[in-house]
Chain A
Amino acid sequence: MPAKGSTVEANDSEEPTGLAVLGFGEPADEAGPRRIEARLSGSDRFYRALASTGAGITLLIIVLIGVFLLLEALPAFRAAGFGFLTTQRWDPDSAPPEFGVAAMMFGTAVTAVVAMLATVPLALATALFINEYAPRVLRATLTSLVDLMAAIPSLVFALWGLFFLVPWLQPIEGWLVAQLGGTLPFMRAIATGSSLFNAGLVIALMAIPITTSIIREVLSQAPRHECEGALALGGTRWGMITTVILPFGKTGIIGGSMLGLGRALGETIAATLILNIRFEIKPQILETGGITVASGIAVEFFDAQELGLSALMAAGLSLFLVTIVINLVAAVVVERAKAAG
């Protein structure tokens, strides 16, 4: 990286020789090193301005998204008031408009929790397996397999979930409902299949690759000499993992999981295809029916009139704010974890 303040084009009249540029020929009694001035040529100033504009636009986009969604959402916020956060129904275009994100937010939270409960242990196990257990020859292949999984479109995962995973899980869920539904209220269900739980499981498929690759990257920076020290003292592999690798990678695991959570919160298509749309809060997670913010936008978009669109923008804004805060915190955490390595 070119250090700021170093001079390259030193052929101006004040600095006649190369030696002077390097600091030779200076009076020895001068206090401290000589200040080196950097003067950029016109073309360099243009290049800097261009690159800064590029970075500026990237920054600006995220600000613009927030501002425009807010502008579009204002009418809906005015119409709904505080009820926007507590109402479950979604009828923004009816005569007295009645709508709120309570049901959507609840569904988003439930699917995200289910997805994270599946993602974190699986991602951690996969990362540990690739780093510590897999034969050395397989390591690169497995890593690209995780990358490939991240590249598979969520639509394809959603289709597979709808036609393969959900029917496959149906008998297990039916059995669980029959056995536990009597004692545990949240396990009750009239019909299973298009439930928040199943949507969460499919969403987990999209959160696993990003979480795995970040956790793997952080864990692979665990100090190797300490790992070998643990083994040399007679520790087992699992002992080494629990005493050296996991404590070292704690922040990275948390940060990676949060980035996965950001993915899970914003996932649209899986929830749209799998869920049976129902705008209500119900704790029976195995029962058919539910809604998430992202899928609500996708479903309601085509029927929305004027206020309806504004209300969807408001829902989008709330989703945007939640994910951006989570992602920013996660990005800072992961950055720290990587810097520590």
Chain B
Amino acid sequence: MAATRALGPAPSKTPDKPTDAAGQAPRRRPRAWRWADIAEFAGSAASALLLTWLIFDRFLPFRIQGVAFFVAWYALTLPIYWLVVRDGHGPVAARDRLASVLVTTGAAVALSPIFLVVGYVTYRGWSVIDFGFLAETMELTGPLSGADDGGLLHSLIGTLEQLGIATLIAVPLGVLTAVYLSEISGPLARPTRLVADAMTALPSIVAGLFVYSIVVIRTGWGFSGFAGSLALTILMLPTVTIAAEQVLRVVPGSLREAALALGSPYWRSVLLVVLPTARAGLATAVILGMARVVGETAPVLLTVGGTNILNVNPFSDYQDNIPLFVFNQIRSSKESFVDRAWGGALLLLALVLVLFVLARLAGGAGPGRRSRRKKGAAK
């Protein structure tokens, strides 16, 4: 726009909007779907449906489950649609249309588990969760008690304490590492960044084994909530580090230089300028790290111990937490235990969703991007 204007005397009309008055054709929108395109697809799908019905109901000597019917319907729709488009628009367009159907299907298949999981867990767990479920422990609950008896107070307290301790350790360490990576960027920066990247996919059970061998056995401390926190710290650290580094990197260099030019030492410029500027993104990094580890089961299985009674001291004796509660309950064959496991799973899912929404609210669109409020202020 600005460039066009600079070329000549200011035009009265915006030049990129052709009008019919000037004798030009109406604007073409190559991406828009026309009714004819939709009709082609709908027609193909309908004929494939009829063909599938014909084959399954009339020709095949045996009956097949409903799922297979839909698979066959889909599989028949593709070549029919290809033939129809090829006939009308040529092979290049046919390949393009077929590809868009396949890509859309792939995305739908990949993303649909989210809705199915949230829906199914809510369906199974909703009736279990009530006040008693949150306020009781499993201490007095035997195998014959109903699902409304007993609860996961001990696990909830364990999760909160272990997550809290892990956050207290991992966040300062992760932010320090991020500051090193983005502000100092010394000789350790490249290996540290690679290791942090590799650690995001560190098998969580290996972290559990490591803490088990050092804290639980070597120091003779035994199972404790704190050992679990250490295992969670190892898993949380890379997430926090990477997300924090990304937000620190988008802090404008001019802010740092202004602080340095005013005579502040590096540490003050980082502490009073860089970190506060990235505040929102850092909060997101922390919450994402928490969401990453709150549902981890494998490492706490090896370090926390698991118990049915309430233990509020994370530094000694067995504790429990929600993933462990779910894991132990689901492995029972009793219906009431399985029901309680679904209740725990729903609570866990809700916790993750809350953390996730909090992360989005804290950081705007995501780590590394500025929040809406700041965007407005920058204008």
Q: Which residues of A contact B (CB under 8 A)?
A: 1-2, 8-9, 40-41, 43-44, 46-48, 50-59, 61-62, 64-65, 68-69, 72, 121-126, 128-130, 132-134, 140, 142-149, 151-157, 159-160, 162-164, 168, 171-172, 175, 205, 208, 210, 212, 231, 236-239, 241, 259, 262-263, 265-269, 273, 294, 297-298, 301, 312-313, 316, 319-320, 323-324, 327-328, 330-332, 334-335
Residue in B closest to A273 when the chains form the complex, CB atoms: B330
Please state if B210 and A69 are interface contacts (CB–CB under 8 Å). Answer: yes
B111 & A146 in contact (Cβ 8 Å cutoff): yes
Q: Are the C-beta atoms of B345 and A58 separated by less than 8 Å?
A: no
In the complex the two chains form, what is the Cα distance from A237 to B96 in whole Å?
7
B263 near A9: Cβ-Cβ < 8 Å: yes
8 A-B residue pairs with CB within 8 Å: A2-B257, A54-B179, A144-B366, A151-B288, A163-B124, A268-B297, A316-B206, A330-B197
| Chain A contacts for B124, CB-based, 8 A | 163
Those of B352-371 within 8 Å (CB) of chain A:
352-353, 355-356, 360, 365-366
- The answer to whether A44 and B266 have CB atoms under 8 Å apart is yes
B104–A129 touching, CB < 8 Å: yes
Q: Enumerate chain A residues within 8 angstroms of B103, measured Cβ to Cβ.
A: 125, 128-129, 132-133
> Which one of B201, B265, B298 has the greatest number of beta carbons of chain A within 10 Å?
B201
List 12 additional contacts besides A69-B206, A128-B107; criterion CB under 8 Å.
A50-B176, A54-B180, A55-B188, A58-B195, A61-B234, A62-B195, A65-B210, A125-B110, A145-B114, A147-B356, A148-B353, A208-B110
B196 within 8 A of A: yes
Does residue B348 face the partner (Cβ distance < 8 Å to A)? yes
Distance to closest chain A CB from B179 (angstroms): 5
Chain B residues, CB < 8 A from A265? 203
Say yes or no: B203 contacts A268, CB within 8 Å: yes
For chain B residues 167-200, which have a beta carbon within 8 Å of chain A? Answer: 172-177, 179-186, 188-189, 191-200
Chain B residues closer than 8 Å to A268, beta-carbon distance: 203-205, 297-298
Given the complex of chains A and B, what is the CA–CA distance between A287 and B245 in angstroms? 46
Find chain A residues with CB under 8 A from B297 CB.
153-155, 268-269
Contacts of B31 in A (CB 8 A): 237
Inter-chain contacts of B111 with A (CB < 8 A)? 126, 142, 145-146, 149
Pair B179/A51 contact, Cβ less than 8 Å: yes
Q: Are B302 and A52 in contact (CB under 8 A)?
A: no
| Beta-carbon contact of A152 and B302 below 8 Å | no
CB distance from B188 to the nearest CB of A (A): 5
* Stretch from B21-29, B63-71, B133-141 contacting the other chain: B63-71
Per-residue CB contact flags for chain B residues 97-111 toward chain A (1 = under 8 Å, else 0) read 001101111110111
User: Cβ of A51 and Cβ of B67 under 8 Å apart?
Assistant: no
Residues of A within 8 A of B207 (CB): 65
**B188 and A59 form a contact (CB under 8 A):** yes
A212 to B106, CA, bound (A): 12
Query: Is A328's CB under 8 angstroms from B194's CB?
Result: yes
Q: Which of A65, A133, A155, A312 contacts B348 (CB 8 A)?
A: A155
> Hey, which chain B residues are within 8 Å of A171, CB to CB?
65, 67-68
| Interchain CB contact under 8 A, A58 and B179 | no
Q: A56-B188, A123-B110 are contacts. A2–B256 as well, Cβ < 8 Å? A: yes
Q: Evaluate contact between B237 and A61: CB separation under 8 angstroms.
A: yes
Given contacts A142-B111, A263-B201, A266-B204, contact A153 B295 (CB under 8 A): yes
Residues of chain A contacted by B184 (CB below 8 angstroms)? 48, 51-52
Closest to A265 in B: B203
**Shortest Cβ distance from B182 into chain A, in angstroms?**
7
Asked if A324 and B202 sit within 8 Å, CB to CB, the answer is yes
A43 in contact with B176 (CB, 8 Å) = no
Residues on A with C-beta less than 8 A from B341 are 159
